[in-house]
Structure formats: C-alpha cells, structure tokens
Amino acid sequence: MASATFRIWRGERGAGKFVDYTTEFEEGMVVLDMVHKIQANSANDMAVRWNCKAGKCGSCSAEINGKPKLMCMTRLNQLDLTQPVTVEPMKTFPHVKDLVTDVSWNYRVKKKIQKFTPRPADAADGTWRMQQADVDRPQEFRKCIECFLCQDVCHVLRDHDKHDEFIGPRFLIYTAQLEMHPLDTGDRLKALKDDFNIGYCNITKCCTKVCPEEIKITDNAIIPLKERIVDEYYDPLGKLFKMFK
C-alpha cells in the first residue's frame, strides 16, 4: 500500500505549527479520509469539523495545498503525493483549534440583510403563482451550502480585513437571490451600496473559482447587483429615460 505525507496545521487560537503525518492510503480516498485516519491513529486530539462527507453540508472547508477546498471533495488522485500535502484552516475567520475556525461572523452578517418580503398572495388560499423561468436565477443561488470557501478566498476579507464593512460573496449571492426573486418586493440596493459595500468587490472571480457548487457567483450575482446599483445611482441618462417612458 502506498503512503503519503500530510502536513496538517496543529495549534489553538492562531498559534501553532505544521505537523507531518505519513500514512498509507488506498485508491478512491479523499483528504477528509486521510485526516480521519490520522486522527484515529496518530492524533486523537486533532480538531476537524465535518458532517456529511458528500459535499453538501459545507462543514469540512479547509485550505489544501494553499487552495480553499472541501476536504471531502478533494480526491487524493488530484494531488501531487510525492510532496507533503498541506492542510490548514481557513484564514479569513478566527482560528479555534487545528483545522477548525469560528465562522459565526457569517451568521451575524446574514441577520443584517432584509428578509424575503413577498407581495400579497395571488390566490385566496394564500398561495402565489410564478413561472419557473423567473425563478431559475434565484434557484442557482439556493444551491449554496454555506461552506464559506468564497468568503475565505475573497481578498477584501482575507487580505484587507473588511469584515465590518463588507458582507462577502456568500451574502452577495444571498442578497441577489432575494432581489431577483419574482415575488420579493424588498429593496436592498441602498444597503448593498452603503452598508454592505458591494463596491469593494473588484471582480477577481476567486469566489467563483472555489465554489464547490459551481455557482457563477461573480457573473450571475455580483455583477448583476452592481448593474442594478448603477441603474439606481450612477446612470443619469437612464433615470431621465425612465422619467419620460
């Protein structure tokens, strides 16, 4: 059986070091399998967050060879096992222990966004009518599993620490999901511009590249929201045209 070396970050509250673990692997294994094997055999106290092992719960986010990825969806045959494979926690969030970070900031951010505000019901029984074609766009964003890899890789949060001012790609797609919904009547554009500072996004598409659900975060959510803000605040000719329409 072949073996590989995993260089895993061990420590608490940001202080710690990489520790090398060499262990055997079998065909078809993923990084999370290796971490579990190391945890079982060599490092019983190693902290790692996981749940579904199927790429749907978004719990096992980490940085593998420097790239934000889900550990359960990274197969070993995608990695160069002749070199040690580094596995470390996400860098954008406060470190807790080993591979675990505190992602609660994200839940606090979500509470700030105006909730779904549907128009009055279309039918007497309190239900609505809408076309599938109109909910296709918001439904793409509902695939999000809240793994927060996009938040981790976003340089506005990662390098510039704008957590107090910027909501990050995850919540820009959440806002887009609400704004584009055919039943929603809420207006979140002013908040997007002034409070959530969508203008910090400079369209590097890193969030799109790391999304395990392959949501086109930048093209289908962030840029359309930026364009809606242009409609509202930066397009005087468009405003004039609407006045005369």
Partner 1 sequence: MASIDVPLKDGGFGSTRRTDNWWLEPLLIFLGYALFLGYSNYAVFTPMCGPTQPCYEVPGTNYLSPMYSPLLFTSAPSWWPGFIPFSAAMLILWAPAGFRFTCYYYRGAYYKGFWADPLSCAVGEPGFRGKNYRGERKFPLIMQNIHRYFLYLAIVFIVLLTWDAWRALWFPVAGGGEVFGIGLGTLIMIGNPILLGLYAFGCHSFRHLIGGRKDVMSGSSVTKSCYDCVSHLNKNHMKWAWISMFYVGGVDLYIRLCAAGTITDLRIL
If one asks whether residue 118 binds partner 1 (CB under 8 A), the answer comes out as no
Using the rule CB under 8 A, which residue among 224, 239, 240, 244 binds partner 1?
Answer: 224
If one asks whether residue 2 binds partner 1 (CB under 8 A), the answer comes out as no
The amino acid at residue 38 is I
Give the other-Cβ count within 10 Å of 84's Cβ.
17
If one asks whether residue 140 binds partner 1 (CB under 8 A), the answer comes out as no
Using the rule CB under 8 A, which residue among 31, 148, 184, 215 binds partner 1?
Answer: 184
Token digits for 137?
């766009």
Residue 145 beta carbon to partner 1: minimum distance, rounded to whole angstroms: 20
User: Which run of H or E residues covers position 24?
Assistant: strand 15-24
If one asks whether residue 234 binds partner 1 (CB under 8 A), the answer comes out as yes
Query: What is each CA distance from 161 to 91, 96, 102, 152, 234, in whole angstroms?
Result: 11, 18, 15, 11, 27
If one asks whether residue 80 binds partner 1 (CB under 8 A), the answer comes out as yes
* 220: Cβ contacts below 8 Å, ≥ 6 apart: 137, 140, 141, 176
- Choose among 191, 220, 218: nearest CA to 207: 218
- Choose among 24, 21, 1, 5: nearest CA to 80: 5
Of 52 and 219, CB closest to partner 1: 219
Rounded to whole angstroms, the Cα distance separating 18 from 141 reads 36
Give me Rg for the CA atoms of the chain.
21
Using the rule CB under 8 A, which residue among 54, 123, 237, 243 binds partner 1?
Answer: 237
Query: With CB under 8 A as the contact rule, which of the stretches 27-35, 53-61, 108-116, 173-181 interacts with partner 1?
Result: 173-181
Of 53 and 73, CB closest to partner 1: 73
**Helix or strand or coil: residue 205?**
coil
If one asks whether residue 227 binds partner 1 (CB under 8 A), the answer comes out as yes
Query: With CB under 8 A as the contact rule, which of the stretches 27-35, 53-61, 102-110, 181-189 interacts with partner 1?
Result: 181-189
- Choose among 105, 128, 223, 139: nearest CA to 183: 128
If one asks whether residue 20 binds partner 1 (CB under 8 A), the answer comes out as yes
If one asks whether residue 119 binds partner 1 (CB under 8 A), the answer comes out as no
Query: With CB under 8 A as the contact rule, which of the stretches 26-34, 52-60, 110-118, 152-160 interacts with partner 1?
Result: 152-160
Using the rule CB under 8 A, which residue among 31, 46, 95, 147 binds partner 1?
Answer: 95
In 32-158, at which residue ranges do the beta strands (DSSP E only) sit? Answer: 61-64, 67-70, 85-88, 95-97, 100-101
Which residues contact partner 1 by CB under 8 A?
A: 7, 9-11, 14, 16-21, 42, 63, 65-68, 80, 83, 86, 88-89, 91, 95, 131, 133-134, 153, 155-156, 158-162, 179-182, 184, 197, 199-206, 209-210, 218-219, 223-224, 226-231, 234-235, 237-238
